Structure formats: C-alpha cells, structure tokens
Amino acid sequence: MNVVKRILMRAFGCPQGVLGSLGGTLMARMNRRMAQRASELLDIQPSDKTLEVGFGPGVGIQLLARAVASGWIAGIDPSEKMLEQARTRNAADIRAGRVELRRGAADALPYEDATFDGVMAINSLQVWPDAVAGLREARRVLRPGGRVVLGFTPQSGQTKENVTAALTTAGFADPRVVDLEEGYCVLAVNPGRSDRAASIADR
C-alpha cells in the first residue's frame, strides 16, 4: 500500500488517530445529505429494525433513529475512532436502548438471520475487505422482502455497473439506481431465504 493510500485509509477507510478524527469530522459534513436521501429511500416504518454498515461518525445512525418511534437501529464499523464519535453523537438514543453500535466487519455481521427490515451503507462498500461477501452478509441478516440501500458520492470511485453487479452476485433482486444531485443510490431487495437458511432447510 503506497503512502497516499495509507493516509486516506487512516482518514476515511478505517479512521485512526488524529487523521481519523479529522476524517470523521469531514465525513459527517460530506455524507449527511446522502445519508438523508438513502434513509428516505429505505422507506423506514416506525417499528422497523435497520442496520447501517460502516456508520463512520454516526450521522446516518442519527437520521435513522429519528425515523423510528418503536423500532431499533444497529450499526457496525471497523474503526474504534468512528465508534467513539458515533457513540457520542447518538448517546441519548443509545441510553434509551433505541440504538446499538458495535465494532466489526461487513463480512462477519454479529446478528441472526432475518433480523432487519432494512440495511444501509453510505460510501463504505469500497473499503470492505470483500464487497460481495459483505453484501451476502447483509442479505443474510435481512428479512425476506427487506431492502438494502447503498449510497455513493462522486468521491467514492464506485461505478453503478460494479455496484449492481455485486448486489446481483450476492443474491439480491431488482437492483435499481437512483441518481441524485450529490451522487447516486442503488436499491435492491432480499428475494427470500438467506443462503445459509436455505442450506439448513434443504438438508
């Protein structure tokens, strides 16, 4: 990994140290509008359970929590620095038991099958260790008919074709691109049982 890429990863990929703190502040500003649009596209209902993968400084979590009255919001992020910032930003909802934030990886989500009604990720797919493996995990923890929304600003470097192909490979159905002023989102649906659930049922 070259020096520039290492610096970018410390600031934005898996934020660490002073660069991570600065990166979190910048992401909170840059990603807020995209997180707002993505949460709207999820069409969250008051009692829904929703997961954000790669929550960064916790702006998306904050927006999701505002959309549910009796539901529950969970988040996973590999960065201890982002976990600190997100917990501070969402302290009241965490104390109330409406938000749970954990440190972890997209390809090893610590939740049971079919736990969530929706999954959201903003500008994080490109730094997952394995995008398709992470999306398969997202599909596993989604209920049948649950939706995933992936949001990308121009700085993400992600093409619409690659994102829709990864979703299809992971088993999602009906991927749909929504162009936005600040970038684009891709929506898709979990068509049925997770791969793991199907494997168990077919034994």
CATH number at residue 69: 3.40.50.150
**Residue 142 resides in a domain:** yes
Determine the Cα–Cα distance for residues 121 and 173; give it in Å rounded to an integer.
17
Residue 12 CB contacts under 8 Å (≥ 6 apart), including other chains: 23, 26, 27, 127
Q: Is the pTM of this model over 0.75?
A: yes
Number of structural domains found in the chain = 1
**Residue 25 resides in a domain:** no
Cβ–Cβ < 8 Å for 184, 191: no
**Residue 171 resides in a domain:** yes
**Residue 20 resides in a domain:** no
Range of the domain at 124: 30-201
**Residue 6 resides in a domain:** no
Mean pLDDT computed over every residue of the chain:
84
pLDDT band at 29 (very low <50, low <70, confident <90, very high): low
**Residue 11 resides in a domain:** no
Per-residue pLDDT of 88-125, as tens digits, reads 999 999 999 999 999 999 999 999 999 999 999 999 99
Mean pLDDT of 143-170: 95
pLDDT tops 80 at residue 25: no
DSSP helix/strand/coil, 137: helix
**Residue 99 resides in a domain:** yes
Category of 194 on φ-ψ map: left (φ > 0), alpha (ψ -120 to 50) or beta = beta
